[in-house]
Every structure is written in C-alpha cells, then in structure tokens.
Amino acid sequence: MPAALSLDHLRRYAVARSLFTPTTLPAAIRRLGFVQADPIRAPARAQDLILRHRVTDYRAGDLEARYPRLQIDEDCLVNYGFLPREHLALMHPREPRRPWDAQTQRKADDVLAFVRERRIVHPREVELHFAHGRRQNPWGGAGNLATHLLDGLHYRGLLRVKRRDSGTRVYEVAAHPPADESPAGRARRAAALIDLVVRTYAPLPAASLTYLVRLLGYGAPHLSAQTQAALRLAREQLASATLDGTTWYWPADENPRSRRWAVDDQLRLLAPFDPIVWDRRRFTLFWGWTYKFEAYVPPAQRQFGYYALPMLWGDRVIGWANVAGESAGRAPAVGYADAAAAQDRTASTLLDEDLARLSQFLLPR
C-alpha cells in the first residue's frame, strides 16, 4: 500500500516538477508555461535567473538575444513575463477594465497607424514624431506619454514586442487569430488559463489557487466571470488533498507520491520570482519561515536585503543570499533560516559551487 500523502511529498513534488532536467530554451519556456520578468539586475534579471537552472549552458541575456527567433511573446498573465505564443489566444482580444478617454484613444490610434506604416518602431521614434510630452504615472512620477501609449496598445494586443534594444522594447503590429467569443468559447479559454497557472505553480494551497485566478484579471480582465465559473469546476476536476487543515490542488494527471519526483542534493540560488518560491503562502507552509522581496523596502527596514535570492538545497530552502553583479563568484551576503545549515560545511561547499556556476552564467557570450 502506498504511503499516505504528506507535506514532504508535496514539497519534493513542487521542487522536482519545476526543476526538470535542463533542456533547450524554447522547451524550458514551454515546460514552465510562464516565466515572470523583472528589470532589476542583482546580479541578473529574474527571467535569466529562473532560466539558468532549466536551460543547458544558459547565459544571462540569452533570452533577450534569442527572443526574435523564438515562438514566444512578452505579455501579461498573472504578472508580466514570457510565455509560448500559443497561449496568447487565451487572452486576446483583451479588453482593459479602464478604457482610454476619447483624446487618448485618438493619440493611440495615430501611434498604431505610425507603427503599421513603419513596421518596426522604437519608442524614441514615436516620441520624436508626435512630441506627446509627459504624463503623471500612478506612482506620482512623470512618464513618457509615448511609452504609455505603446504599453497600452501592447496590453490590448494591438502591438507585440518584436525585440529589445539594450532592454528597451521595440514594437511591431500584432496579429491574433479570430477568437471564439461565444459563451462556450470564452468558458474554454478561462478553463485553459486556470490549467496554465496550475501547471506553472502546482501544488497550490486552496487560498493560493483563488489568488492566482484573481490575478488572471490582469491577463484576461474580460474573462473574469468565466474564470470564476471555471475555478469552481477546476476545484472538482483537479486532484486534491487536505493536510493539517489546508486543501491542496494539483493537475489530475500527476501523482505527488510518485518516485519520479526525486530531488538532487545540489544547492541553487533562486530568483525571488522563481516558480518554486513565488507563492509566499506555500513557501511558509513548506519551509516554516517567511521570505520577503525587499527591493522596494527602505534599506533600514530590510530583513533579507535588496535582492535576496532564496537558497534551495535539495528540497529545503535554508536561507538566502544577496549577490551583486560585480561580486558574483565572491562571498555574498548570506543569511540562514536553518541554524544547522549555517554550520554545515557541505552547504558552504555547495554554495561555492553555485556561485561558480553563477559567475559563468554572468559572463557574456
């Protein structure tokens, strides 16, 4: 008789299903389903830090360099990031919750016509051509109106990111297949979106599943009614179990108790947005301590540091490390949540090994 499902099973399953054997870049993105993006480099962007553990011989910047040749897109799901192109049909045509006013819409139409005429456009070209000026952003600062319009057209699915030039998005007109807007078609798209996020972040506590579906309001605000209905159905169709009062969900075709979910004893520094540690609720349940991303916290109030990378050893997150780009390969600022691990020479040796891998990953091609 197989052993009863335990939290240890779920923890190993969560790590092993996400840390699959390194493969090619397009295969890894397809396997992950979604790779969250973040512009901070400390020591590299989040998308690169996520992919370095899952792509053979990956180097920082490979995604940006190879992006124009891959069937992937930058777009919004539960956050902004990269996903296989076929998933865009689940979210487009996207209808924002807050439409533009008539004046802004006219400007956006002009920008779209400009991009259509030029075919590929850098934001600087739009700014120089239209001289739209500045606008106040939601955080109280001033932003470029041309950038705002391009971002808005991209969000609406009218533009796509063609490539990046030194990190700046360069756009072209997007083309999407006709969407089935019948009630049944919208319901199928909502169900497929929930399946996508479950397969990206499983296993999920019930509250986290609900939270992720709510975040789909960013990627598919026009399908909110359908995603709520699909969530009710998903709770019935997904595999689930209740442990210590928490109900967990995962894909019905996977078994967390299977021996296929084996973890190695390697130590890895993860991105703050890595799928393994992304769900902070699950993080606390799995590892018994609370991790926080503090890049936007005043320095005096930080507990972990500006860009603390969770330190995964096997199936345990034993602490964190801050590694500045110029100091990769040298001693990072390390903190431990596990007192025994702090004294463990094996952990120290394995950390040095991952820092060496990190240094290699940061070297330019």
The contacts of residue 227 (CB under 8 Å, 6+ apart) are: 190, 193, 194, 213, 216, 217, 220
What does the pLDDT read at residue 325?
59
| Residue 301 pLDDT class (50, 70, 90 cuts) | very high
pLDDT tens string 92-101: 999 898 999 9
Burial class (CB in 10 A: 0-12, 13-18, 19+), 31: middle
pLDDT for residue 115 is more than 90:
yes
pLDDT for residue 326 is more than 70:
no
Task: Look over the chain and give the mean of its residue pLDDT values, rounded to a whole number.
Answer: 93
**Arithmetic mean of pLDDT, 121-147:** 70
Number of other CB atoms surrounding residue 221 within 10 Å: 17
Output b/e per residue, 70-94; b: 16+ Cβ within 10 A. eebbbbbbbeebbbbeebbebbbeb
Domains in the chain with CATH codes: 102-173 (1.10.10.10), 267-362 (no CATH)
| Residue 327 pLDDT class (50, 70, 90 cuts) | very low
pLDDT for residue 140 is more than 50:
no
What does the pLDDT read at residue 2?
62
Single out the residue of 315, 280, 257 nearest to residue 6, CA to CA.
257
| Residue 332 pLDDT class (50, 70, 90 cuts) | confident
| Residue 137 pLDDT class (50, 70, 90 cuts) | very low
| Residue 330 pLDDT class (50, 70, 90 cuts) | low
| Residue 338 pLDDT class (50, 70, 90 cuts) | confident
Q: Which residue has the tokens 């296993």?
A: 203
Q: What percent of the chain has pLDDT over 70?
A: 94
Top pLDDT among 155 and 339 is at 155
Per the DSSP assignment, residues forming a β-bridge with 76 are 80
**Arithmetic mean of pLDDT, 187-199:** 97
pLDDT for residue 142 is more than 60:
no
| Residue 132 pLDDT class (50, 70, 90 cuts) | low
- Which pTM was predicted? 0.93
pLDDT for residue 343 is more than 70:
yes
**Arithmetic mean of pLDDT, 16-37:** 98
- Give residue 330's Cα distance to chain centre: 28
